[in-house]
Amino acid sequence: MLSHIKDLAAELAPRLIEIRRHIHSHPELSGEEFQTAAFVAGVLSSNGIHVEENVGKTGAIGELKGNGSDKRILAIRTDMDALPIQELAPLDYASRNQGIMHACGHDVHTTVGLGTAIILSKLSQEIPGKVRFIFQPAEEIAQGASWMVADGAMDNIDSILGVHVFPSIPAGSIGIRYGALTAAADDLEITITGESGHGARPHQAIDAIWIAAQVITTLQQAISRTQNPLHPVVLSIGKITGGRAPNVIADSVLLQGTVRSLHPDSSKELPSWIENIVKNVCHTYGAKYKVDYRQGVPSVQNDLGLTQILQAAAEEAWGSDRVEILPEPSLGGEDFSMYLKKAPGSMFRLGVGFTDREVNHPLHHPKFEVDESAIITGVVTLAYAAYKYWGLSSDTTTNLTPVAVNG
């Protein structure tokens, strides 16, 4: 089966490069993936795959029937949106849409999803259950997965696989991660209200700027003393607004930041932990406060059994020296975690770095480029992992208990 998949992928390679370049030169922003979704739907239906359009606003779903000997449905998710970045890479297929660029490799993801769908459609008689291909919009604004789930994309799904490109891994290799892959990414706003007064007479006022400084310092110190060091938390205040004039004591300060955490319990406990600290500091100095904590996407926790399948599929296909077991998660966010609320899943990192270049620009960089040979690596890995999935007994996949994080 593996050599069959590899042959089909090799045959398909020129078409997949064409598809990727087409998507790359026509990038669309989150929630506006109209042409991309229509293009995806066209490719799927011309390969005999049943398509549903306008799922999750601008998403699309393809569903492939297997031979029916297994009731389980495996989902494969790829995302389609681009970023508001002006492309600076000197490519003849560079973005034709001013100020919009596929700088996060979602053009590659979409192509890998399509390639996997085309190959599995040719092997459908050998696939026991169904495969649902989820082409998601709006990942960059962490909304698309929720839109897809709300529209039923995960109904009856037993397991889900996902992929994201990674420029620091060379093309031809992939990265596998057990447990936490990405962090929970939450938004934080703290308003501190004091009382204005003359800068020369602070005792007659309540200085919101000084109290805000106390709040920030106390939060950063308390993280190191009261949070479990094996459950990393990063709290960054990125914006402070307050004050009117150099000689006027500020009556109000707004702190805005982001909170990243890896352990599922952290994101649940952090709102009250933060509120408590803010409350105590503010009460000590007579200020009022308001804490607005908005939970974003949870941490992606890769399932043990499905991660083993991805690793085994990749090692059989490419050799173990081209499969890197990633020692550390990323503190970036990824809305793949919204699907994991519905079914266990695993996401791997697809190497797209050029081995003959000294610099591979990072994701979201205006000169970000990918080595397109990675498309075939991704397609074969996913198609073969999907095939191997049906050999897995249904009780093997369980949500992996989060493990302590290295590093």
The residue ranges that bind Ni ion (CB under 5 A) are 104
Cβ of residue 300: shortest distance to Ni ion, in angstroms? 12
| Distance of alpha carbon 389 from alpha carbon 271, whole angstroms | 39
Residue type, position 246, single letter: P
Cβ of residue 83: shortest distance to Ni ion, in angstroms? 9
Q: Name the residue nearer to Ni ion (CB basis): 116 or 182.
A: 182
| Distance of alpha carbon 159 from alpha carbon 182, whole angstroms | 19
Q: Within 10 Å of residue 394's Cβ, how many Cβ atoms?
A: 11
Cβ of residue 142: shortest distance to Ni ion, in angstroms? 11
Cβ of residue 92: shortest distance to Ni ion, in angstroms? 24
Cβ of residue 189: shortest distance to Ni ion, in angstroms? 25
183, 261 Cβ separation under 8 angstroms? yes
Task: Tell me the residue number closest to Ni ion, measured at CB.
Answer: 104
CA distances from 101 to 93, 105, 136, 360 (A): 11, 9, 17, 17
| Distance of alpha carbon 37 from alpha carbon 26, whole angstroms | 12
Cβ of residue 164: shortest distance to Ni ion, in angstroms? 6
Q: Name the residue nearer to Ni ion (CB basis): 145 or 249.
A: 145
Q: Name the residue nearer to Ni ion (CB basis): 65 or 365.
A: 365
Q: Name the residue nearer to Ni ion (CB basis): 104 or 314.
A: 104
| Distance of alpha carbon 242 from alpha carbon 252, whole angstroms | 6
Cβ of residue 106: shortest distance to Ni ion, in angstroms? 6
Cβ of residue 381: shortest distance to Ni ion, in angstroms? 18
Cβ of residue 104: shortest distance to Ni ion, in angstroms? 3
Q: What is the DSSP letter of 321?
A: G
Q: Name the residue nearer to Ni ion (CB basis): 104 or 219.
A: 104
Q: Name the residue nearer to Ni ion (CB basis): 104 or 148.
A: 104
CA 272 centroid distance within chain: 26
403, 29 Cβ separation under 8 angstroms? no
| Distance of alpha carbon 110 from alpha carbon 97, whole angstroms | 18
Q: Name the residue nearer to Ni ion (CB basis): 30 or 227.
A: 30
Task: Give me 37's structure tokens.
Answer: 């979704």
Q: Name the residue nearer to Ni ion (CB basis): 105 or 172.
A: 105
Task: Give me 56's structure tokens.
Answer: 């999750």
Q: Name the residue nearer to Ni ion (CB basis): 104 or 281.
A: 104
**Radius of gyration of the CA atoms of the chain, in A:** 24
CA distances from 37 to 34, 93, 282 (A): 5, 19, 50
Query: Which region holds residue 225: left if phi is over 0, alpha if psi is between -120 and 50, else beta?
Result: alpha
**Exposure pattern of 130-166 as b/e (b: 16+ CB <10 Å)?**
bbbbbbbbbbbebbbbbbbbebebbeebbbbbbbbbb
